[in-house]
Amino acid sequence: MPPGWESEPLPTMSHISPGIERVLEINRRALADPDEFWGKVASELYFAQRVGPAFERMDDPPFGRWFPRWKTNLSYNCLDRWIGTDLQHKVALHWEGEPGDRRTFTYLQLWKEVNRFASVLQDLGVGEGDRVTIYLPMIPEAIIAMLATVRLGAVHSVVFGGFATQALADRINDSKSKVLVTADGGWRRGKIVDLKGLVDPALLQTPTIERVVVVKRTGQPVEMDADRDRWYHEVAPTKETKVAPVMVEGPHPSFLLYTSGTTGRPKGACHSTAGYMVWLYYTTQAVFDLSPKDLFWCTADIGWVTGHSYITYGPALRGGTMLMYEGAPDFPSPDRWWELIERYGVSILYTSPTAIRGFMRRGDEGPKRHDLSSLRILGSVGEPINPEAWRWYYEHIGARRCPIVDTWWQTETGGIMIAPQLGLARYALKPGSATLPIAGVDAVVVDEQGRRVPPGERGFLTIQHPWPGEFTTLWGDPERFAQVYFSRFPGVYYAADFAMQDADGYFWLLGRADEVMKVAGHRISTTELEHILLLHPAVAESAVIGRSDAVKFEVPVACIILKPGVPPSSQLREELLLHVRTNMGPIAVPGQIYFVEKLPKTRSAKIMRRLIRDVVEERPLGDVTTLEDETSVEEAKRAYLELKSELERVPK
């Protein structure tokens, strides 16, 4: 390893390098005087007005507000700030489609495209505070539409292109969007994903949508509703058009991003403008050390928070160059990613442990065939990275030269919260640990009672002080916001993750503490999937759990009780899989469906998912004492044995 980098755990605090001291010191400073610290960071960005404090305490969740009376615009800071500078003709975005088509945008060109798109939205009546749902494949227009929306002071709600009809309709209805931006389709593994075909039935249920803007990507014929639908290329102005960026106050919402929780209804995490922007500006540099010299490739989809923060916003706020790729990692050849890194000279690669484990399975021949020497930093996000995958990534992709930043964060946190901070200091890494919190992140691992647990003990991760990137509410549901995140441990943010802090103060993230699954890095709610299954006429009841998986981390498994008189069959199973695919999307399709006659439930009819998980993973019954207060050990044991014998009986 390079000097200062060690792959094995440090034995004691006395070995902590000066780099760690620096990071801890910066963190302490940010917590001691958030107003001063973040005000200074923000002074590097453009604000049309700076009045009052950077941070203001509040009595209600989230207990703080950022830049409440400052005014700015996110698209201005990502684009206009570079116009007329040395960076204006620098490439902002290299894009490559799955079929191999390529597009490149300089900052000036991207700025022009965003203005064009904003003028179309404006003509369709989109103004400050209006919601725009964006449902697009991984094409430049996704970034352009997002930046155009925030330019108008409007609020985007991007729905992942891997979600399907019902999931899209539910998200549109919750946000009450008036415009939807979509495309005829996108490319995935050589096939067209028929986005417009998924949109049309969804729009039968969404009364608020007035207009649909359709970007032509694949060119296959699609139905266009003459009143409602507009081809983007037909309505976009041909002459250069400028749209003045609307300067909004710091807490003004910039976007909603629907995320999974523990009920069937997705939660619209609502992000601010200024706090979010400052968080992205800060973390992109602190963690990735990103500067205009870099070519940053974040492989996440734009429909997840990683895509929002580290494709659309973070790199542009730093004047970096991004690479965006439309298709599957292994199409048309398993070397696709390595070719891209070599061809473009990617310097920072940010991806998920699932992708890394997928490549690991194929061996190291692929990466060996390519010159990956442009890489200098590797990142990981979305799920815990196992030390084995960490080491493979370090060895075979980074050639033992590139430090790995394992970054822990969530949709709700806006940006990275716990990670090595290469832009600030170098210190020892430990495979599998996200290391130390970012400035201003007061991360504390607590027990059931909210007491700090000693080093080495597992507990719940909480964040005990507001931070700039923090979401401001759940769209239209402040009660749920307070209840889900701030009531379990009153006054502090509950992350719903298990974590452990070791003797050196390093954090180890140990998976979700609630009923949310992580499937190939995607956050999926067990209850939303149950709800979708219940929409099928044959299904009386369903219980979904995440089964551990060596590559994808988790895979959904459903236990289903059929309606009386409906016989189980393999044909019905196929039909249910298809039902999930077309209603919720391919990412949610269960790896296994079991037809059962009874589901293990507590006396108050709550499904005992932990118990189902034990049975499905063929483990002995785990600790039931904390399962449910109202369920006795005997009852749990009986339910376990019943389900076990049922699953053994049913054909797979």
- Of 167 and 179, which has the nearer Cβ to ligand WTA? 167
- Of 262 and 602, which has the nearer Cβ to ligand WTA? 262
- Of 497 and 515, which has the nearer Cβ to ligand WTA? 497
Helix (H, G, I), strand (E, B) or coil at 510: strand
Indicate the length of the chain as a whole number: 652
- Of 148 and 520, which has the nearer Cβ to ligand WTA? 520
Least Å distance between CB 460 and ligand WTA? 11
- Of 68 and 469, which has the nearer Cβ to ligand WTA? 469
Least Å distance between CB 420 and ligand WTA? 11
Find how far residue 447's CA is from the centre of its chain: 27
CA dist 210 and 207 (Å) reads 8
- Of 73 and 435, which has the nearer Cβ to ligand WTA? 435
As given in the structure block, the two tokens for residue 571 are 């044909």
Least Å distance between CB 509 and ligand WTA? 3
Least Å distance between CB 638 and ligand WTA? 32
Least Å distance between CB 221 and ligand WTA? 35
First to last CA, the chain: 47
Burial label for 618, CB within 10 Å (0-12, 13-18, 19+), is exposed
Least Å distance between CB 309 and ligand WTA? 8
Least Å distance between CB 408 and ligand WTA? 4
CA dist 70 and 50 (Å) reads 4
- Of 251 and 382, which has the nearer Cβ to ligand WTA? 382
Least Å distance between CB 416 and ligand WTA? 8
Least Å distance between CB 412 and ligand WTA? 7
Beta bridge partners of 157: 133, 256
- Of 324 and 587, which has the nearer Cβ to ligand WTA? 587
Find how far residue 566's CA is from the centre of its chain: 39
* SS3 labels along 457-488: CEEEEEECCCCCCCCCEECCCHHHHHHHHHCC
- Of 47 and 408, which has the nearer Cβ to ligand WTA? 408
In the chain, DSSP finds a helix count (H) and a strand count (E) of: 20, 30
Least Å distance between CB 46 and ligand WTA? 27
Rounded to 5 degrees, what angle do the CA atoms 400, 374, 305 make? Answer: 90
DSSP at 395 = I
- Of 71 and 523, which has the nearer Cβ to ligand WTA? 523
Least Å distance between CB 434 and ligand WTA? 5
**Parallel, antiparallel or unpaired: strands 131-135 and 507-512:** unpaired
CA dist 87 and 561 (Å) reads 60
Helix (H, G, I), strand (E, B) or coil at 611: helix
CA dist 579 and 573 (Å) reads 10
- Of 211 and 518, which has the nearer Cβ to ligand WTA? 518
In the complex, the residues that contact ligand WTA under the rule CB under 6 A are: 259, 304-306, 381-384, 406-411, 434, 497, 509, 512, 518, 523
Residues 6+ apart with CB under 8 A from 454: none
Does residue 440 contact residue 34 with C-beta atoms inside 8 Å?
Answer: yes
CA dist 212 and 624 (Å) reads 51
Burial label for 128, CB within 10 Å (0-12, 13-18, 19+), is exposed
Least Å distance between CB 415 and ligand WTA? 9
Beta bridge partners of 295: 321
480-510 residues labelled b (16+ CB within 10 A) or e (exposed) = bbeebbbebbeebbbbbbbbbbeebebbbbb
DSSP at 563 = P
What are the φ and ψ backbone dihedral angles of 443, each rounded to 5 degrees? -85, 125
- Of 259 and 526, which has the nearer Cβ to ligand WTA? 259
CA dist 283 and 271 (Å) reads 16
